[in-house]
Structure 1
Amino acid sequence: MALNLFKRVDSVKGLFAVESISLIYNALTTIMVLILWPRMDHPGTMLLERAGIVVITFALIYLYHKYPCKLSAFIRMAVQMAFLAYWYPDTFEFNRLFPNLDNFFASAEQFLFRCQPSVEFSELCPSMWFSEPFNLGYFAYYPMIAIVTIYYFLFRFEWFEKVSFVLVTSFFIYYLIYILVPVAGPQFYFPAIGMDNVMAQHFPAIGDYFNHNDILLPGPGFDHGFFYNLVEASQEVGERPTAAFPSSHVGISTIIMIMAYRVNKKLCCFLAPFYVLLCCATVYIQAHYLIDVIAGWVSAVCIYIAATWMYKRWFASVVFQLVAR
């Protein structure tokens, strides 16, 4: 199929669905910044960054109306997805102010499984033959998202706005949960309390410890592996003691697999091994408790249904006519 990115399309007035939900999330978190202003680390900068995102959004809308084509439509929606890289660490600026809840989750993990699966898993499988495949799966998270969304853009363009909306909305729902439920995960919590406490099955509350500390436990496995080093480097740059429950890696990748299955079963089969490795890796590298993974699977289905309903209820009545002339 020949793809003409510059082929003119019917210009759509107003906001795309994904831009609308992004501006709503922007407004909600802006209100939170104003409410929590005295306790926040750099609220002024956060407000300026939010204003910058709004300016960029409307600048791209202007660009699209001046040059209405498939490429300019893609850029508008892709930029909103790219902003997720900003919104994720932004959750930490809120939940760092509240008492950490890892002690409850680690205790629940111990009660349910009679051990800490993240510790047991990595100790049972420490070699490169386990470490590298699991880290490959974990690193495949963003490529999986890119592959499926670009596939929709290239081959199911009429569904691209819906897919973008559902994906970004799903992320925002997870981010709101992370703001309200401050759980850092084993790779942050265990260094904070010490492995002696973990082995003794003692999981003390640490209050707002992560408001001033962000020590990250190095991942287990073969520490000179290629994918191990890629994951470690990416975590050093973008990871924060936040977003453990439920696992958005598991939740979003599950939603991506649903999207892939709906459009091309061969694509779904191709991604399936990476998906399985990713789900295992979240516990193996100690980024999540096992209950985070289970909650990721359950929440993915619920959030996918909710986000799809939101799109049909609020935006499907607005004609989206990105049809090439």
Structure 2
Amino acid sequence: MKQIIALLTPLWCVIIVYQAATCTLISLFEPSYLYHLDFLIPRVIIMVYLAFRLTTKSAFFLKLNALADAVLAYLLLGFFYTETAFLNTLVFSKIDPDLAGIDQWLFGHQPAIRFSEVYGNSLFSELMFFGYFSYYLMPLIALVVIPAWPAGRRINKPAQFNRFVFLLISAYFTYYLLFILFPAAGPQYYYEPPFNQISALGPMAYLVKFVQQVGEAPTGAFPSSHVGITFILLYLLFALNKKLFWIYIPFSILLLFSTVYIKAHYVVDVLAGLLSAPIVLSLNLFIYKKLNFHPNPAVHGTNHSRS
């Protein structure tokens, strides 16, 4: 029992709560999906991993279990993201016509179409695709690099790293819930061909298109988690590792514009991502303080750095 209690870090609490929420939603509206492989695979991986965590006596793993938890949680996000494409069809209708209408009202045209038409040269296109691809790498690099940063710059207290991981991963799950409440496919799925696509003019474009073919789905447009997560990450890094913060700034700026350029988002999605980021962060800070109940500082940590 003590091992199970020790396992219930704030990170695993929020993962379990998200699973309970999505399982309840599916049970109510489409129970047959509970037996679908896309639903079962990530949950089985979680159960096998937690069973290993409970039984292993490996000193090496026990030393790195917080990092292992963080990396596994991040890698599983892809499953839960694509799952929202199914979940956001259960309750509400897609709001893409409304989002495209707001963009039209604001600009008199569709920026997700005009942007790539006006700036269509191959160099600028590659720069935009490079900025978009950085979204997949920045959080993972931060999760792995921060604990191993050279002396004087690394996070020395487990509490700081645990808090950083929780606020980052829980932000993803918060946005996934928002995708269910505000279902939107995005310009690349809403516009009619050929306006829903942008030609690949270089290796970065082909790389992004390959990633999209593997893991993209008609979901997650509003609000933009690309923008929201990136600015939450920057906010956390400013307190924890300013060097990495400054390294990420140019990539984040490119990402901001690239989401519209490659037709992943409407401009209103980007604005909603910017506005939602501090709200999502504040909500998860509140949840973290409530969940950080464990009496052993080595498990959760009791020293909270300011962010």
TM range, normalised to the smaller chain?
Answer: 0.7 to 0.9
- Check whether the contact 1:26–1:50 (CA below 8 A) recurs between aligned residues: no
State the distance in 1 between where 2:278 and 2:164 align.
Answer: 15
- Residue 291 of structure 1 corresponds to 268
Change (3 A) 1:315 1:181: same
Change (3 A) 1:64 1:274: farther
**How far does residue 72 in structure 1 lie from its aligned partner after superposition?**
2.8
What do the CA deviations read for 1:168-209 (whole angstroms, capped 9, x no partner)?
1101110001112111111110027x85xxxxxxxxxxxxxx
Q: Which 5+ residue runs of structure 2 have no aligned equivalent?
A: 149-153, 301-307
Judge which range, 246-255 or 53-62, deviates more. 53-62
- Residue 189 of structure 1 corresponds to 190
State the distance in 1 between where 2:165 and 2:7 align.
Answer: 17
- Residue 300 of structure 1 corresponds to 277
State the distance in 1 between where 2:256 and 2:18 align.
Answer: 28
Q: Does 1:179 align with 2:180?
A: yes
- Residue 112 of structure 1 corresponds to 106
- Residue 313 of structure 1 corresponds to 290
**How far does residue 316 in structure 1 lie from its aligned partner after superposition?**
5.4
What do the CA deviations read for 1:149-169 (whole angstroms, capped 9, x no partner)?
223322215211111111111
Which letter does structure 2 place at the counterpart of 1:163? F
Q: TM-score w.r.t. structure 2 length?
A: 0.86
- Residue 305 of structure 2 corresponds to none
State the distance in 1 between where 2:283 and 2:13 align.
Answer: 16
- Residue 303 of structure 2 corresponds to none
State the distance in 1 between where 2:135 and 2:55 align.
Answer: 31
The equivalences for 1:10-159 within 5 A come to 13-37=6-30, 42-45=33-36, 48-49=40-41, 51-63=43-55, 67=59, 69-97=62-90, 98-154=92-148, 155-157=154-156, 158=158, 159=160
Judge which range, 91-100 or 162-171, deviates more. 91-100
Q: Which 5+ residue runs of structure 1 have no aligned equivalent?
A: 1-10, 196-216
Q: TM-score w.r.t. structure 1 length?
A: 0.82
**How far does residue 120 in structure 1 lie from its aligned partner after superposition?**
1.4
* TM-align CA RMSD: 2.4
SS state at 1:83 partner: helix
**How far does residue 148 in structure 1 lie from its aligned partner after superposition?**
1.7
Change (3 A) 1:111 1:146: same
State the distance in 1 between where 2:140 and 2:43 align.
Answer: 27
Q: Does 1:248 align with 2:248?
A: no
- Residue 218 of structure 1 corresponds to 197
State the distance in 1 between where 2:228 and 2:277 align.
Answer: 5
Judge which range, 228-237 or 263-272, deviates more. 263-272
Judge which range, 42-51 or 180-189, deviates more. 42-51
- Check whether the contact 1:185–1:287 (CA below 8 A) recurs between aligned residues: yes
**How far does residue 13 in structure 1 lie from its aligned partner after superposition?**
1.9
Which letter does structure 2 place at the counterpart of 1:120? R
- Residue 151 of structure 2 corresponds to none
What do the CA deviations read for 1:7-47 (whole angstroms, capped 9, x no partner)?
xxxx9823221111101100111111110126x6x331255
**How far does residue 218 in structure 1 lie from its aligned partner after superposition?**
2.8
**How far does residue 99 in structure 1 lie from its aligned partner after superposition?**
1.9
State the distance in 1 between where 2:293 and 2:207 align.
Answer: 40
- Residue 7 of structure 1 corresponds to none
State the distance in 1 between where 2:267 and 2:140 align.
Answer: 26
Equivalent of 1:261 in 224, 238, 244: 238
Which letter does structure 1 place at the counterpart of 2:75? A
- Residue 166 of structure 2 corresponds to 165
Judge which range, 11-20 or 241-250, deviates more. 11-20
Change (3 A) 1:65 1:113: farther
- Check whether the contact 2:128–2:254 (CA below 8 A) recurs between aligned residues: yes
